Chains A and B, each alone.
Chain A
Amino acid sequence: MTCSEVRAVLEACVDGELEGPVARALQAHLRSCADCACCHRAAAVLPHRIAALVAPALPDQLPAVRDRLRPRPASPLTAGLLASELILACVALTQLGAAGLSTAARTALDGGTALIDGTPSVPAVPEAGALVTLLLLTSTLIAHLAVIGGSRPQGA
């Protein structure tokens, strides 16, 4: 085996995954090549070095963990945003309801006229004002959810 062939399988050798002629050839090479023997030793101790790694002393995490687990009441920001959301929703529903009623009435009138004249009735189109309000409501809701999501503490 050449040195480069040996280096390519050193980790497999350390893990005991080599057997037969390859393992024997590698052992023979290691006996005769000081550089590769040194690399083999380094490969063999690396897992133990990782296991023995130490970290800096850090403070007790229990108080912080308990704090994260403590249920939190809704913040004034969240409550305020949700209240305005509710008001907007009421406005939108009112507009949509009014639009729906007027459209239904118009359709009924058009239908009656069509019956008399023999002309087809025009399909009902929702009120533009109601659609605009609905659009505003949706975009406001998305913005509010983003604000609420961004202001929520991690892990809470």
Chain B
Amino acid sequence: MSTATAAHDEAAYDLVPEDLPPATARPRVLLVGTALVGAGIIVAFAALIGMYLRVRHGVITGPAVDGEAPVWFADGQTIPLTPANVAMATMLISCVSMQWAVDAVKNDDRKGAFFALAMTLLFGGAVINATSFLYSQSGFAISGGTNPAGLLFYAVTGSHLALIAGAMLFALIMTVRTLGGEYGSHDREGVVAASLIWYLTTGIMLVIWYAVYVTK
């Protein structure tokens, strides 16, 4: 019998029952994929925030400009903390509603899950709105000035806005699927995956809030 034929024969496999290890439960596919995507997102934001902090450090510890101590933000530019704090608080509250959705799906409470996911999406929209208001108040220009503060500020916070939009889209898809009955107590992988990205988005916002908004 040729090897090729043997390979197609089930009995040809190396089956040694006494050597059979205990079955290993594989991690869920969507969760593993989401975790890998999450790792990529973390790296991307680590690079952006790292560049922001490194360049900022280089500027404020650098030589004086026109006889004056170097500053990161030019005159007339500032980061108003009120909208930043409101956005941060809203994002934190949205984590509660997201976890509520996960628990509701676990308990087959479709009405509760829908309500919680809708609340989460609403909070996400509110964060985007608060950040937009912050932009209008900050007075930053993306170009001009003596340093790239505006450019890096918009690169970091704008990318985070895009991440929030992506996380909202993911949560919206999972909401529709939950309403369609795909997720419930039998399987809540999709909602858990959406929550994973949502918590990650919140975590990154926490870092941006401190490193960019508060520290300035």
Partners in one complex: no
A residues apposed to B, CB below 8 Å: none
B residues apposed to A, CB below 8 Å: none
